[in-house]
Amino acid sequence: MKAIFLKELHGFFAGLTGYLVIGIFLLISSLFVFVFKGEYNILDYGFADLAPFFLLIPWLFMFLIPAVTMRSFTIERNLGTLEMLVTRPISIRKLVAGKYLAALVLIVIALIPTLVYVWSLGRLGETSYNLDYGSTFGSYLGAILLAMSYTAIGIFSSTVTSNQVVAFLLSAVLCFILYFGFEGLSSYLSDSDFLASLGLKYHYESMARGVIDTRDVTYFLSLAVLFFALSEISLKSISSKR
């Protein structure tokens, strides 16, 4: 697993992929947070709070993470090396884990420079560093857990097709449905709270309020494990057909 992880991570930074992902994420988030007028601009928000930035993150992740993961297994199919990988002594679980962790680490690396936003907001406040650190910590933890779920969805999408564009679109659509879909359904049905609680948005926004609830953490981890397991099943079906 370590060899797969290091190979994938090196692959991101040996080319432009890793730098582009980090650069695009920071550029777009900075423009929305500090330059463009609107609901995501923290200067117009009126409070020393990064809430607008964390409202933007699910949208950014919804496109950036599928872009990172879309080639994870599709490229192996196109190169004809997938069958060889799934029949090697390394287990399929370790193969998936190596690629999954490499993609997740890249997203976490992209998040680290945004700590400058915390410093900037602290300096700009009427009272220096008068921030709700509990809410900020909960929001960052929620963003990492959201990235874990999105990455697992992206890896799964790359196992079911040999086309990178299809893998990207499938991943983005699944992320969108799981984030917004249940909330949308809840507005039409009577048991709205239960339906809303099945979606990513409900748990992400709960953590963004600074409340670290084990139910929210368990939900994100369970969703990541579910799609991780689906990736294993998908690859095992390929192996069994060989």
Q: What is the pLDDT of residue 126?
A: 59
Each residue's pLDDT tens digit, 219-235: 999 999 999 999 999 88
Each residue's pLDDT tens digit, 180-214: 988 878 777 665 677 888 899 999 988 887 778 89
CA atoms of 224 and 226, how far apart (whole Å): 5
**Structure tokens, 15:** 């080319």
CB neighbour list of residue 233: distance below 8 Å, 6 or more residues apart: none
Among the listed residues 62, 57, 53, 58, the one whose alpha carbon sits nearest the alpha carbon of residue 34: 53
Report pTM. 0.90
CA atoms within 13 Å, Cβ hemisphere of 212: 11
**Cα→Cα distances 146→29, 33, 113, 205, 221, Å:** 17, 20, 18, 11, 9
Q: How far is CA 191 from the centre of its chain?
A: 28
Say if residues 132 and 73 touch (Cβ distance below 8 Å).
no
Q: What is the pLDDT of residue 128?
A: 61
Q: What is the pLDDT of residue 174?
A: 96
**Structure tokens, 199:** 């979606």
Among left, alpha and beta (phi > 0; psi -120 to 50; other), residue 38 is left
Each residue's pLDDT tens digit, 149-168: 999 999 999 999 889 999 99
**In the predicted model, what is the mean pLDDT of the chain?**
85
CA atoms of 179 and 100, how far apart (whole Å): 20
CB neighbour list of residue 86: distance below 8 Å, 6 or more residues apart: 92, 95, 235, 236, 238, 239, 242
More confident residue, 145 or 117: 145
